[in-house]
Structure 1
Amino acid sequence: MKAKAPGVFTLCFALALVLLLGAPARAQIDTASIVGTVTDASGAVLAGATVTATQEGTGSSFTIMTNAKGQYVLPNLKIGRYTVTVELQGFKKAIRQAIQLHVQERLQTDFSLALGNVSEEVVVSGRAELLQTQTGDMGHAVDQRQLTDLPLLGRRYSELALLQTGVVYSGQGIQSRGEDTFFNSNGNYATWNNFTLDGADNNSFSTNLQERSPEVIQPPVDALEEFRISTRNYSAEFGRSAGAVINASIKQGSNDIHGVVFGFLRDEAFNSNTWENERAGRPKGKYNQYISGATIGGPIRKNKLFFFADYQNTNTDQALSQLATVPTALMRQGNLIELSRPLTAGNPFVPAGCVDTVNKRISPACFDPVAARLIGLYPLPNIQSELAKAGQPGSFGLPNYIDNGVLSVDINQYDVRLDAKPSTSSSFFGRYSYMKTRRKEPPVLGPVASGDFNSNIEITGQSAVAGWSHTISSSTLSEVRASWNRIEGDTFHWAFGDDSNSQFGITGIPRDPRYSGGIPNTNIGGLTRLGGPFFRPQFQTSQILQLSANLTWYRGSHSWKFGVERRRDKVDYVDLRALNGFLSFNDARYTGSGIGDFLLGL
């Protein structure tokens, strides 16, 4: 367990740095800003003009006055479509509609007012510019239309991070860790990215990626308003990682009720066989994926209080072919003629008459009773290597058994969000998310026998965030945010909880039903391991509590942002090695063969 808090020196240094540099504060975690200048037809600035931004879906509005230089800033606006209105006595009202704001955006929108009555209007639709000129952030925003329309493997929004320059898939090794997309940004490692959801920390936090995802919550694409990936020059408040910043936002409700019901099907009946299967004469492997869910959002109180909720289930069954090396029928009888190395005799620990070095045999009368039972856990070979088919000596040791199991993954998740606008100067939101993943990896040799790392895995992620912003004056804005996330990763071997040792005559190993089960991990030279894996079971629970407050002050053409953040990171875990014991017959020190040593129990 560890806790981190900013020291007094750090806070003072940060404050001094801000005061010395005097740079405009452009950081919004999950919101956006509209800035600009209001002038008349001759280009003279207009002070005291009233500028109002109204969100088209909710009717929520934010009003501010231009300063002595005709400048205005509309900060901390929720992402979405806005209408901006500018009014000043003696001039026609200017209206710009359908302004789409993206997360972390600071949009420059200038107005030129024409002389006339305030009852007259000049209406312009769309954004005033296409280029982002207010920040040096190198990034890309993916909006809701792209999220839902572009084809995505498993409907994972993080796949679209690859649209950004400098982002590539990670290696196959880490990709196989779970159901999320792992990617590298500008050459940085996949776990060095920083994920946020609604401005809250969304990074999994464990000792060895036990959660099998870099995110606590992987929101469905139909639940997202948009997300932005920034790979370079992002704001200092994101500066906790060397990789990219992935900032996502859950949808909010509006004055109209909107909902979606969806379903996606990928069935093996529509798939063709792979080239490898065709060459080997095997049937095509199973791959079925069913994704279903729904979203709904609307008003609780018009223009004041809104809700949004979503649910999604993802169920995937995928064929998983695994190879193993198992003892042949002759070896189970003590006949080791298929081994390339000769047997040795004369070791004082080997009983006389048990090893026939000429015929390469171990006498069944000398078999250890536990070994005689354990070797029966191995299935018989069902394939032959090319060397074995050709009758070449020394072919044993190559895979001679294939298991065609099914990898099963079931994911249930939901999000609930509330947004409130109690007054024109205050806004509040809260969101809770839940995600449960059950992953069953088939054991290559069976539940008790399998010594690989295939397991039953349960991962539960939870995330909650609440935020409040208040406009103190036309030049001062405050914001407070609190968030909590928790992710629990439990990994069980297939024989977890079984009293298998007593069934095979293995004694002397303590048993705790909370952790143990199965037989000892048994390493036999030349064969696939037997028994429970080394690092199973594993239980890890990580939590992150984050509190932040900031104050933004606008002075002339500059904006100043001051803030403090307090976070607590905590990990509790049980990660035990060889809890059921470990038996090694790998060095062939007694008979010249690991299998021979095993059969004799040496």
Structure 2
Amino acid sequence: MLKPTRPISLLFVLFALTTVSVLAQTSTSSITGRVVDSKDAILPGATVTVTNEATGLSQTQTTTESGVYAFASLPVGTYTVTVEQAGFKKFQQTHNSLEVGTPLAVDAVLEVGQLSEVVTVQGGAEQLQTANATIGNVVEQKAIEALPLNGRNPLTLLLLEPGVVQRSFGGAGSGVHVNGARDRAYNVTIDGIEANESSVPNPVSNLYRINPDNVQEFKVTTNNATAEEGRNSGASISIATRSGTSEFHGTGFLFFRNEGLNSNEFFANAQKTPKPLIRMGQYGIEMGGPIKKNKTFFFGSYQANRVDFTQPIDQTYGIPIVYTAEARSGVFRYFVPDPANPLVINGTTITRNNSLLVNPTTGALVAGVTLCPTPTSGLRCVRTYDTRTAGNNTLARPLDTTVATLLTPMPLPNKFTSGDGLNTGTFLWNPPTAIRGPAIAARIDHNFNANNSIFGRYLWSDYNTLKGDPLNGRPQLYPDSPAFGEVFRRTSNLALSYRRVISPRVVNEFTAGYARFGFLFTQGEANPAWPNVPPFFFTGIDVPYLNTPRTARWVTTPQLLDNLSVVRGAHVFRGGINMRYTVTSINAASPVVST
């Protein structure tokens, strides 16, 4: 049954009175500055041009009566800033790195001279951030591409930030905490559009499968976030996707990992447990460039995931308990204590069945433990009970065929460290898991003229966990049994943005988009025999089947963003609106609970 819920949230921000604009929840940033002469006198009316060094696109405005200029809502990248004024030499500062969500200040000091003379300044030095008091860091494309990333997930670099810790690894509850905040107190956006998982959020889980090829950079704010950066007390992560440039670039890639390159763990070797299998193959292509020079640019990437691995069953499920060969045939054993002469093994007094009664490797009775002389007599020994010849089996019926059929595929114990030792033992192995699914990204930027530009970006991915679901404790229990469950994930994320320079002093940026993700958890349906699974279970052992159906959830979040920047004198006023409308649909086997 599907039950939708529609919570709606509205965020309205009106904030400014600063000499530098504060960036909203988008993938853009701003360049501002002050123009003076060599005696620090302000120069109103100076012509300022910023040029994107990757695309060649330029924008021009004049300084205010206070000698201030401000270019708002610029795409991240490297820019050249040029300042011209009659009677002064031309000022030019190159290689100014504009980072997402981090305003850049480039002040110019003009020298008296001819415009034909040029004073060139090399940019690139790290600047003190004075626009706001936020604490964080921008992870640039160079770091994303150069640092080793497990699974090619750039968001794992969040764990390198000061104040960020991860509670545990390998489970759905592996929480990332920022400065002690709850592991759900964070906000992730891609080009301003929400990219959060609402039920078990984890910022490094990379729900929308971004990879190093389609990320330009991302900003992590860990403290003192502005009102525009998010609605959570933990980290705010703003991701800017990659766009095309004025030159064609393309790359094909293959990343490979194999268990043959790994060593086994010390304790696994001690228990003679084989080395887990891990075969990771990630391959694809990325390409970008101009469609129409200095007008239209494209970028796209494709990545396929083909991952096969195994994990020890005791790490993903627990320790499975199975019947011994005797118990499967209907012959059960039980220890009969002698109160007058108790049996003590390794300091433990044995009063009932216990794994200490047998050798942990072979299951044979340990020294000092014997079988009783008859099935009905003797103390401080092990008696047997044969259900096929027991006195209450007056018809001498054999073991039930249905029970025998269900027990036959189950393995025999390979360890006797758990279970009761006499009738049950443990079966340890490394069940397999497979991950499959592509991830696709596409982006197009178009500039109508210096005052009007748009871009559209789309992400789509499948990321399916097959042959078992160890993350949620639902692996394949035994080698010849079906998986307890599988997970099918599908996501999409769309952003459409329009930037309009209304006047040299007024800039508006409007973004519309949506985020959508869906999880389908198969349970009993992972069994090829579904729905014809046994309606009963066995006491004391683990059975390799479930009788519960699937669960699923879909979350769709359309979103509207608008940011307006107005320059007045020495101040930049900034206002914006961020509207999200969330629809959650849950399909559950039990009565539906929606939040």
TM over 0.5: yes
Instruction: Find 1:519's aligned residue among 517, 534, 541.
Output: 534
User: For the residues of structure 2 that align with 1:478 and 1:61, how far apart are their CA atoms?
Assistant: 17
Instruction: Find 1:546's aligned residue among 538, 541, 559.
Output: 559
Structure 2 length-normalised TM? 0.82
- How far residue 448 of structure 1 moved from its aligned partner, in angstroms, is 5.7
Instruction: Find 2:152's aligned residue among 113, 137, 155.
Output: 155
SS of the aligned residue for 1:234 comes to coil
- How far residue 307 of structure 1 moved from its aligned partner, in angstroms, is 0.1
**1:205 to 2:198 alignment:** yes
**1:381 to 2:415 alignment:** no
Distance verdict in 2 for CA 1:252–1:397, change over 3 Å: farther
Match of 2:312 in 1: 321
Aligned amino acid, residue 172 of structure 2: R
Calculate the aligned-residue CA RMSD, in Å. 3.0
- How far residue 314 of structure 1 moved from its aligned partner, in angstroms, is 2.2
**1:262 to 2:253 alignment:** yes
Distance verdict in 2 for CA 1:118–1:482, change over 3 Å: same
Count of residues in correspondence between the two structures: 528
Distance verdict in 2 for CA 1:517–1:228, change over 3 Å: farther
Instruction: Find 2:123's aligned residue among 122, 126, 132.
Output: 126
C-alpha offsets along residues 386-437 of structure 1, whole Å, 9 cap, x if unaligned?
A: 589xxxxx43687511233221112310100001111111111100111111
Aligned amino acid, residue 443 of structure 1: Q
8 Å CA contact 1:325–1:397 kept in 2: the answer is: no
Match of 2:463 in 1: 437
8 Å CA contact 1:216–1:486 kept in 2: the answer is: no
Aligned amino acid, residue 42 of structure 2: V
Higher relative contact order (CA 8 A, sep 6+): 2
SS of the aligned residue for 1:331 comes to helix
User: For the residues of structure 2 that align with 1:306 and 1:387, how far apart are their CA atoms?
Assistant: 63
**1:420 to 2:413 alignment:** no
Match of 1:351 in 2: none
Instruction: Find 1:27's aligned residue among 23, 27, 43.
Output: 23
The percentage of counterpart residues that share the same residue type is 27
Instruction: Find 1:335's aligned residue among 331, 335, 343.
Output: 331
8 Å CA contact 2:323–2:423 kept in 1: the answer is: no
Match of 1:590 in 2: none
8 Å CA contact 2:321–2:426 kept in 1: the answer is: yes
User: For the residues of structure 2 that align with 1:88 and 1:475, how far apart are their CA atoms?
Assistant: 19
8 Å CA contact 2:153–2:206 kept in 1: the answer is: no
- How far residue 377 of structure 1 moved from its aligned partner, in angstroms, is 5.0
8 Å CA contact 2:409–2:480 kept in 1: the answer is: no
- How far residue 321 of structure 1 moved from its aligned partner, in angstroms, is 2.5
Structure 1 length-normalised TM? 0.81
- How far residue 188 of structure 1 moved from its aligned partner, in angstroms, is 2.4
SS of the aligned residue for 2:323 comes to coil
- Structure 2 unaligned spans of 5+: 314-318, 336-350, 354-374, 378-382, 469-474
Match of 1:249 in 2: 240
**1:177 to 2:168 alignment:** no
Instruction: Find 1:94's aligned residue among 91, 94, 118.
Output: 91
Match of 1:3 in 2: 6
User: For the residues of structure 2 that align with 1:537 and 1:98, how far apart are their CA atoms?
Assistant: 54
User: For the residues of structure 2 that align with 1:556 and 1:128, how far apart are their CA atoms?
Assistant: 28
Instruction: Find 1:186's aligned residue among 179, 189, 204.
Output: 179
User: For the residues of structure 1 that align with 2:408 and 2:537, how far apart are their CA atoms?
Assistant: 14
User: For the residues of structure 1 that align with 2:540 and 2:400, how far apart are their CA atoms?
Assistant: 21
SS of the aligned residue for 1:326 comes to strand
- Structure 1 unaligned spans of 5+: 343-355, 389-393, 501-515, 580-602
- How far residue 529 of structure 1 moved from its aligned partner, in angstroms, is 4.0
C-alpha offsets along residues 2-39 of structure 1, whole Å, 9 cap, x if unaligned?
A: 334457xx86xx65xx48x8896502321111111100
User: For the residues of structure 1 that align with 2:308 and 2:553, how far apart are their CA atoms?
Assistant: 26
SS of the aligned residue for 1:430 comes to strand
Aligned amino acid, residue 186 of structure 1: N
Match of 1:307 in 2: 298
Instruction: Find 1:461's aligned residue among 480, 484, 491.
Output: 491
- How far residue 100 of structure 1 moved from its aligned partner, in angstroms, is 0.8
- How far residue 144 of structure 1 moved from its aligned partner, in angstroms, is 0.8
Match of 2:62 in 1: 65
**1:484 to 2:514 alignment:** yes
- How far residue 62 of structure 1 moved from its aligned partner, in angstroms, is 1.7
SS of the aligned residue for 2:322 comes to coil
User: For the residues of structure 2 that align with 1:477 and 1:119, how far apart are their CA atoms?
Assistant: 31
- How far residue 193 of structure 1 moved from its aligned partner, in angstroms, is 1.8
SS of the aligned residue for 1:402 comes to coil
Indicate the structure with greater helix content.
1
8 Å CA contact 1:518–1:532 kept in 2: the answer is: yes
Aligned amino acid, residue 532 of structure 1: L
Distance verdict in 2 for CA 1:387–1:368, change over 3 Å: closer
User: For the residues of structure 1 that align with 2:376 and 2:237, how far apart are their CA atoms?
Assistant: 65
Distance verdict in 2 for CA 1:449–1:469, change over 3 Å: closer
User: For the residues of structure 1 that align with 2:203 and 2:324, how far apart are their CA atoms?
Assistant: 37
C-alpha offsets along residues 294-316 of structure 1, whole Å, 9 cap, x if unaligned?
A: 21100011111100001112222
8 Å CA contact 1:3–1:567 kept in 2: the answer is: no
Aligned amino acid, residue 415 of structure 2: Q
**1:275 to 2:266 alignment:** yes
Match of 2:372 in 1: none
User: For the residues of structure 1 that align with 2:405 and 2:95, how far apart are their CA atoms?
Assistant: 72
Instruction: Find 1:528's aligned residue among 520, 542, 545.
Output: 542
Distance verdict in 2 for CA 1:399–1:189, change over 3 Å: farther
SS of the aligned residue for 1:116 comes to coil
C-alpha offsets along residues 80-99 of structure 1, whole Å, 9 cap, x if unaligned?
A: 11000001111111000011
User: For the residues of structure 1 that align with 2:293 and 2:564, how far apart are their CA atoms?
Assistant: 29
Instruction: Find 1:85's aligned residue among 82, 92, 95.
Output: 82
8 Å CA contact 2:21–2:30 kept in 1: the answer is: no
User: For the residues of structure 2 that align with 1:447 and 1:558, how far apart are their CA atoms?
Assistant: 71
User: For the residues of structure 1 that align with 2:330 and 2:209, how far apart are their CA atoms?
Assistant: 53
User: For the residues of structure 1 that align with 2:56 and 2:482, how far apart are their CA atoms?
Assistant: 63
Instruction: Find 2:140's aligned residue among 143, 146, 167.
Output: 143
Distance verdict in 2 for CA 1:525–1:382, change over 3 Å: closer
Match of 2:35 in 1: 38
SS of the aligned residue for 1:148 comes to helix
Mean Cα deviation higher: 569-578 or 163-172: 569-578
Aligned amino acid, residue 118 of structure 1: L
8 Å CA contact 2:5–2:583 kept in 1: the answer is: yes
Aligned amino acid, residue 475 of structure 1: R
User: For the residues of structure 1 that align with 2:27 and 2:408, how far apart are their CA atoms?
Assistant: 56
User: For the residues of structure 2 that align with 1:480 and 1:157, how far apart are their CA atoms?
Assistant: 27
8 Å CA contact 2:8–2:582 kept in 1: the answer is: no
- How far residue 129 of structure 1 moved from its aligned partner, in angstroms, is 4.9
Distance verdict in 2 for CA 1:492–1:271, change over 3 Å: same
User: For the residues of structure 2 that align with 1:296 and 1:481, how far apart are their CA atoms?
Assistant: 25
- How far residue 482 of structure 1 moved from its aligned partner, in angstroms, is 0.6
**1:110 to 2:107 alignment:** yes
Match of 1:75 in 2: 72
User: For the residues of structure 2 that align with 1:533 and 1:86, how far apart are their CA atoms?
Assistant: 73
Distance verdict in 2 for CA 1:387–1:463, change over 3 Å: closer
